[in-house]
Amino acid sequence: MGIPRNGVGVDMLSERAKIMRDSLQKSQSITDNVVNILGSFDHRLSALETAMRPTQIRTHAIRIAHGNIDKTLKAAEVILSQFDISRQAEVKILKGPHEDIESYLQAIEQLRNNIRFFSNNKSFKSSDGVLNHANSLLSKAISKLEEEFKQLLLSYSKPVEPDRLFECLPNSMRPSSSPGHQEPNGKSRHSNAEQNGAENAVYTPPTLIPPRILPLLHDLAQQMVQAGHQQQFVKIYRETRSPVLEESLHNLGVEKLSKDDVQKMQWEVLEAKIGNWIHFMRIAVKLLFAGERKVCDQILEGFDSLNDQCFAEVTTASVAMLLSFGDAIAKSKRSPEKLFVLLDMYEIMRELRSEIESLFRGKACNEIRESAFGLTKQLAQTAQETFSDFEEAVEKDATKTAVSDGTVHPLTSYVINYVKFLFDYQSTLKQLFQEFENGGDSQLAAVTMRIMEALQTNLDGKSKQYKDTALTHLFLMNNIHYMVRSVRRSEAKDLLGDDWVQRHRRVVQQHANQYKRIAWAKILQSLSIQGLTSSGGSNSGSADGQNSSGVSRSTVRDRLKIFNGQFEELHQRQTQWTVPDTELRESLKLAVAEILLPAYRSFLKRFGPLVENGKNAQKYIRYSAEDLERMLGEFFEGKTLIEPKR
């Protein structure tokens, strides 16, 4: 079926198409116009930009110029401020440090900063002149600072008085009357416990310079060191502190003595000085040197090598003064009585060793430290040589003075007391032996044993001076008994051993038995029945009379006469002999009584009637058994040895 044609519809469509065509033509026209306009703008902008470029360049240059001006002004301001600081510092430095030391130190620091600034800004044309002026000013400032340091250190450096030093000691070591306290007989008596107490006691070093001054001295020292004035500082420090330290020791009583001075001294005087020296060494190291090191550490904190150098320079003379005396003693002529003081001196040097190592540390103190340790070794060597001399002297003692009563010889008591004192130094001796060889208890025991053997050898020789062999054995009995008893009551027993004691007790008994045999054998023979019976009994009816055994009255009388004479002689002689030990004396009397009295009673009982029935019986029977017992009680009652005090 066909579409009907409508004339109106076609016209409408045509109209609309025309409108659209017109619209498109207008849009194209507008677009072309806009493009033309934009192209015109682009051309104009390009021209404007070309026109503006010179202006932009000039503006940028102006900005750079302004920046440079600002920098220059700021640099000038810094330079001017440095000049201002320099002037302010100069004013303070020229015034000197007396009024305000803190400000003075600040001025020096400011001046140093000023020098650093101009050294780093050499482009400034006047920098050389400024630096020369600043360095000259700094040199003057440091010179004034040196003088200030010297005056400040000098004003607060005063010697320490002895009483103040004694107050710093532990209570147990404060002297009651004088610094050097000696025991009787010149030997320093002490136990190992006391020695350990001395080592562990707390010492409080004195305040040598007020604590409030030390920080200021530190700041002054720091400025001098930074200025390169180390040697000037050391010189000032040494010349100020060293004499003060020496004066403190001098006030205490320390003397500088040479070997010749020591050799000329009487032993009692020298012994007292040695006792004082031991006390002085302890005070010097634990108090004075310790205090001096503390001051050095605080003033020179941060300058270790300079610290050590200053401490060494300050203490050298004082240490030398102390050690020279010890060295003189160690090198003086050896004698037995010096052994104990040598051990005392060695002991104090050993005690102070760790503190000496701590105080005198560093390379600068090497010489002082080695001198102290050298003295310790020298004292040990001299003590050991003295020990050997003593052993030899005991064996070779040629004392001709015999003890007439057979008592303990002075040599025996001297040697035993000597050995007892040695055991007061037991730990020291062990250490001493280890200085040269592997020693200890075994070495000390061996030396003690040799001394005892040397004494016995000498006593054997001395015992031969007696014409009476009985007295020889009594003498040896007394002396060896004294040795045994002394060892049993001392620490020597632990070292020599119980075997030594038992062996020598048997020796004592052997000499007692020998005494009895030799002294009483002859008189006991007179009481023997041997030889009493007459030959053949031919006298049975004589006037002289006989008993049933055929013994004649005259023979019995002769025997009793001999007995009386011998006993009276023994009594007269042996009451002058001495057995100083009460127990040994009574034991010996009892032993004699046990062999004499029964024999006498038996003789009288058997043969006494023959005499009693004759004339003058009392002429022959002078003593009863009780009389003999009483008279035996008077034997060995010579003067008693005064026992050595322990």
| 487 or 5: which leads in pLDDT | 487
| pLDDT value at residue 18 | 80
Query: What integer best gives the mean pLDDT of the chain?
Result: 82
Angle 171-175-181 from CA coordinates, rounded to 5°: 130
Residue with the bigger pLDDT between 131 and 563: it is 563
509-535: pLDDT as tens digits:
999 999 999 999 999 999 988 777 654
Q: 419-433 as b/e, with b when 16 or more CB fall inside 10 Å?
A: bbbbbbbbebbebbb
pLDDT value of position 88: 58
Q: Which residue has the tokens 């064996």?
A: 395
Distance CA 311, CA 303 (A): 12
Average pLDDT on 257-272 reads: 89
Q: Which two tokens stand for residue 191?
A: 């136990």
3-state secondary structure of 271: helix
HEC profile of 150-163: HHHHHHCCCCCCHH
Q: How confident is the model at residue 640 (pLDDT cuts 50, 70, 90)?
A: very low
Query: How many residues in the chain?
Result: 646
Q: CA 484, 490, 492: angle at the middle one, nearest 5?
A: 75
Kindly state the DSSP code that residue 266 receives in the 8-state scheme: -
Q: Worst-scoring range by mean pLDDT, 94-103, 143-152, 195-204?
A: 94-103
Cα separation of 313 and 320, whole Å? 12
Q: Give the per-residue pLDDT at 646.
A: 36
- Mean pLDDT is lowest, of 9-23, 111-125, 482-496, 611-625, for 111-125
5 has a pLDDT exceeding 80: no
Taking CA atoms, 345 is separated from 275, 308, 330, 533, in Å, by 9, 27, 9, 77
> What is the DSSP secondary-structure string of 337-361?
THHHHHHHHHHHHHHHHHHHHHHT-
Q: Which of 576, 581, 567 is nearest to 404 (CA)?
A: 576
Q: Each residue of 218-250: pLDDT tens digit?
A: 999 998 898 888 999 999 999 999 999 999 999
Nearest 10 degrees: Cα torsion 276, 282, 283, 286: 180
Q: Which two tokens stand for residue 277?
A: 């020296």
- The predicted structure's pLDDT at residue 439: 57
Report helix, strand or coil for 532: coil
Lowest mean pLDDT among 134-138, 462-466, 571-575, 633-637: 134-138
Centre a 10 Å sphere on the Cβ of residue 322 and count the other Cβ atoms it contains: 22
To the nearest 10°, report the CA torsion of 221, 223, 229, 233: -10
Most confident residue range from 439-453, 592-606, 628-642: 592-606
Q: Where are the beta strands (DSSP E) in 54-182?
A: none
User: Where do runs of H (alpha helix) occur along 425-497?
Assistant: 426-436, 441-463, 469-488, 492-496
Enclosing H/E stretch for 55: helix 7-95
| Contact between 345 and 278 (Cβ < 8 Å) | yes
Long-range interactions of 444-449: CB distance < 8 A, separation 24+:
444/495, 445/495, 445/496, 445/497, 447/387, 447/391, 448/419, 448/422, 448/492, 448/495, 448/496, 449/496, 449/500
Tell me what pLDDT residue 431 has: 86
Position of tokens 């002082």? 368
This prediction's pTM = 0.71
Specify whether the CB–CB gap between 205 and 290 falls below 8 A: yes
Mean pLDDT value of segment 52-72: 72
What string of DSSP letters covers 430-443? HHHHHHHSS-SHHH
The strand pairing partners of 336, in sequence order, are: none
**Residue 146 phi, psi dihedral angles, 5° rounding:** -60, -45
Count of beta carbons in the 10 Å neighbourhood of residue 400: 6
Q: Name the pLDDT band for 104 (thresholds 50, 70, 90).
A: low
pLDDT of residue 130: 62
In this prediction, residue 131 carries a pLDDT of 63
The dihedral region occupied by 579, where left means phi > 0, alpha psi between -120 and 50, and beta the remainder, is beta
**209-213, 262-266, 397-401, 499-503, range with the lowest pLDDT:** 397-401
| Confidence band, pLDDT 50/70/90 cuts, at residue 176 | low
The band of 571, judged by pLDDT with boundaries at 50, 70 and 90, is very high
pLDDT digits (tens, 9 = 90+) for 124-164: 555 566 666 666 666 666 778 888 899 999 999 999 999 99
202 by DSSP, 3-state: which?
coil
| 27-41, 189-203, 457-471, 521-535: range with highest mean pLDDT | 457-471
Report the percentage of the chain scoring pLDDT > 90. Answer: 47
Percentage of the chain lying above the pLDDT 70 cut: 76
Mean pLDDT confidence for 257-276: 90
Question: Are 336 and 270 within 8 A, CB to CB?
Answer: no
Q: What is residue 366's predicted lDDT score, i.e. its pLDDT?
A: 96
Instruction: Quote the DSSP letter at residue 3.
Output: P
Residue 120 confidence (pLDDT): 62
For 401-426, how does the pLDDT look when each residue is reduced to its tens digit (9 = 90+)? 678 899 999 999 999 999 888 888 88
578 Cβ neighbours under 8 A, 6+ residues apart: 405, 406, 407, 478, 636, 637, 638, 639, 640, 641
Q: Which of 46-50, 123-127, 189-193, 503-507 has the highest mean pLDDT?
A: 503-507
| pLDDT of 101 over the 80 cut | no
The pLDDT of residue 124 is 59
Query: How large is the average pLDDT for residues 606-612?
Result: 86
